[in-house]
Amino acid sequence: MNILLSQPHMSGREMAYVEEAFSSNWIAPLGPNVNAFEQEVAAYADHPHALATSSGTAALHLALLTLNVGAGDVVFCQSLTFVASVNPIRYVGATPVFIDSEADTWNMSPDALRKALVQAATKGNLPKAVIVVHLYGVVAKIGEIRQLCDEFGVPLIEDAAESLGATWKGHMTGTIGDLGFYSFNGNKIITTSGGGMLLLATEQQKAFALKLATQARENVLHYEHEQVGYNYRLSNVSAGIGRGQLEVIEQRVRARRRVFTRYERMFEGIGVSYQQEIKHARANRWLTAMQLDHFPIGRDQLIHHLADAGIESRPVWKPMHLQPLYQDAEYVTVDGEDVSRRLFENGVCLPSSSNLTIGQQQIVIQAVLATRTFATEKSV
Ligand SMILES: *Cc1c(COP(=O)(O)O)cnc(C)c1O
């Protein structure tokens, strides 16, 4: 592939922080870069506490443990997402219940969530937490979801793995829920080559999650353990990369948004649609995801055509309720209409890197438009 879906994009400042780690010999899953990166992310997100982790998945696992979610508990989660939003529910022995998306943002439907909460309350089996996702960096209907969680007294976790820099009413995604997390995996809007960040509200929460992330060692001279812990800290070298990346996050958001706007403009009138930005929200448009509403060829055909032209594109995440892994899980929709399935069946993600050149994007645009001509010719 010549043109990739989402590529790392260095600022040039990363090496300075990494060299600092080397020259001071802090090559460990702790150190000055880790502490500074936590403070810098917390400052950027305007949130009291942040804990750097080895991955976003680890951060979500710690979030569930911090909320005391365990065996026998139920957790509600958006179905249309990457599997990492859900697997940690299983790590702690809890059971996921999947909630359908709405067609505007493609994220958790507040109507479906309300229905599921009412049903659960009637049965006396409210979930221990709700996990909402800001898919592809587009902000979910988070105000309504936050309100519903408050109404039913259920903690909210924001999976902001894809939405660093996206905001709602001036608040960073990841800070609106009780807990939230970011991912710095290689394909995300900024990267540490691999890593994550858990956002917490209190000092006690941070101390609790930090202890679990470092093998749950008791505070005595020798190695004493009362709980099962994990090895979930970010390395000081990786945190150095993160510090260099965070300096340019706003530029990266602007670049990804520009990529989206160009696609939107160039594809006007060809029968496609996109995730909508709700009022007061700024998406980071990590990936431009497109619905083929009235497009002459199907999703897989389009992806194959683009691949032939050296362009990487991908189907939208396959919903969790359709995964063999989670086929037995409950799934709640509004009026039986399966929105997330439809979004999956007709959804394509297009190359959206912040370092995608206009020329490269032009190639993608022409390739998409050419598949239409091809389809029309064939049907004549
Ligand atoms: C990337 C991602 C994660 C997991 O983050 P990792 O750092 O890869 O573990 C979780 N949820 C969503 C929606 C993601 O895209």
Q: What would the pLDDT profile of 149-177 be if each residue is shown by its tens digit? A: 999 999 999 999 999 999 999 999 999 99
The count of domains in the chain is 2
In the reported structure, the alpha carbon of residue 317 is separated from the centroid of ligand 1 by a whole-number distance in angstroms of 12
Instruction: Give the E-state strand segments of the chain in sequence order.
Output: 49-53, 74-78, 95-99, 129-133, 156-159, 167-168, 171-172, 179-183, 196-200, 272-274, 281-282, 288-292, 314-315, 330-332, 347-350
Shared domain for 128 and 23, answered yes or no, is yes
Residues 164/188, Cβ–Cβ less than 8 Å:
yes
Report the C-alpha gap between 348 and 125 in whole angstroms.
37
* Boundary (domain end) residue, out of 231, 246, 261: 246
User: Any idea what DSSP says for residue 234?
Assistant: P
- The per-residue pLDDT for 380 is 47
Q: Is the shortest distance between the CB of 192 and ligand 1 below 6 Å? A: no
Can you give the pLDDT at residue 89? 98
**Ligand 1 atom nearest to CA at 195:** 7
232: CA distance to ligand 1 center in Å?
15
Average pLDDT over the chain, rounded to an integer: 96
147 domain-assigned: yes
Domain boundary among 192, 220, 246: 246
- Nearest CA residue ID for atom 13, ligand 1: 82
Pairing of strands 49-53, 196-200: antiparallel
Q: Does residue 4 fall inside a structural domain?
A: no
Q: In sequence order, which residues have a C-beta less than 8 Å from that of residue 269 and are 6 or more positions away?
A: none
Query: Which pLDDT belongs to residue 58?
Result: 98
Confirm or reject: Cβ of 82 under 6 Å from ligand 1. yes
Q: Which domain holds residue 342?
A: 249-379
With a cut of 90, say whether residue 321 has pLDDT above it.
Answer: yes
Sorted by sequence, the CB contacts under 8 Å of residue 217 that are 6+ apart come out as 211, 223, 224, 225, 229
70 in the same domain as 164: yes
Q: Are residues 235 and 148 in the same domain?
A: yes
**Ligand 1 pocket residue status of 59, Cβ below 6 Å:** no
Instruction: Specify the higher pLDDT residue, 144 or 27.
Output: 144
Do the domain assignments include residue 328?
A: yes
Tokens 């005391």 belong to: 68
- In terms of domains, do 268 and 239 share one? no
Q: If you compute the radius of gyration of the chain from its CA atoms, what whole number of angstroms results?
A: 21
Looking at the fold, whether 108 and 159 belong to one and the same domain comes out as yes
Give domain status of residue 6, yes or no.
Answer: no
Q: Are residues 53 and 123 in the same domain?
A: yes
Residue 2 counted as domain residue: no
Helices (H), 93-235: 110-123, 142-152, 203-213
Indicate if the pLDDT at residue 193 is higher than 80. Answer: yes
> In this structure, how many other beta carbons lie within 10 angstroms of the beta carbon of residue 156?
21
Q: Which atom number of ligand 1 is nearest to the Cα of residue 162?
A: 15
pLDDT over threshold 70, residue 10:
yes
Is there an atom of ligand 1 within 6 Å of 167 CB? Answer: no
Mean per-residue pLDDT, 261-287? 98
137 CA distance to ligand 1 middle (Å): 12
309 occurs within a structural domain = yes
pLDDT at 374: 66
- 38 backbone φψ class: left, alpha, beta (φ>0; ψ -120 to 50): alpha
Q: Region 258-264: what's the mean pLDDT? A: 98
- Asked if pLDDT for residue 377 goes beyond 70, the answer is no
Window from 23-27, 106-110, 159-163, 232-236 with minimum mean pLDDT: 23-27
Same domain, 143 and 177: yes
Q: Are 6 and 350 in contact (CB under 8 A)?
A: no
Cβ neighbors of 169 (< 8 A, separation 6 or more) are 143, 280, 281
206-241 pLDDT, tens per residue? 999 999 999 999 999 999 999 999 999 999 999 999
| 117 within domain boundaries | yes
Q: What is the pLDDT of residue 1?
A: 80
Long-range contacts, stretch 83-87, CB < 8 angstroms, 24+ apart: 83/320, 83/323, 83/325, 84/56, 84/57, 84/60, 84/161, 84/183, 85/60, 85/131, 85/133, 85/159, 85/161, 85/320, 86/131, 86/320, 86/326, 87/57
**287 and 329: one domain?**
yes
User: Is the distance from the beta carbon of residue 55 to the nearest atom of ligand 1 less than 6 Å?
Assistant: yes
Question: Ligand 1: distance of its center to the CA of 61 in Å?
Answer: 12
81 in contact with ligand 1, CB cutoff 6 A: yes
| C-alpha closest to that of 167 among 290, 45, 82 | 45
Q: Do 181 and 307 fall into the same domain?
A: no
Instruction: Say whether both 138 and 34 belong to one domain.
Output: yes
CATH number of domain containing 55: 3.40.640.10
- 138 and 224 both lie in a single domain: yes
- Mean pLDDT value across residues 4-18: 95
Of 218, 246, 274, which one is at a domain's C-terminal end?
246
**Phi–psi pair at 109, nearest 5 degrees:** -80, 120
Q: Which residue minimizes the CA distance to atom 6 of ligand 1? A: 56
* Each residue's pLDDT tens digit, 40-92: 999 999 999 999 999 999 999 999 999 999 999 999 999 999 999 999 999 99
The answer to which of 21-30, 64-73, 95-104 has the lowest mean pLDDT is 21-30
Among 53, 78, 183, which is best to mutate for testing ligand 1, by the most ligand atoms less than 8 A from CB? 183
Is 254 in the same domain as 229? no
Judge contact between 187 and 162, C-beta under 8 A: no
Instruction: Give the C-alpha separation, 353 to 285, whole Å.
Output: 10
Residue 378's pLDDT is 57
pLDDT at 372: 83
Question: CA 242 → CA 129, 161, 259, distances in Å?
Answer: 29, 14, 23
CATH number, domain of 356, equals 3.90.1150.10
The stretch 187-216 carries a mean pLDDT of 97
How many Å lie between the centroid of ligand 1 and the Cα of residue 124? 32
Note whether residue 167 is domain-resident. yes
Separation of CA 89 and ligand 1 centre (Å): 14
Question: Closest residue (by CA) to atom 11 of ligand 1?
Answer: 85
**Nearest protein CA to atom 14 of ligand 1, as residue:** 161
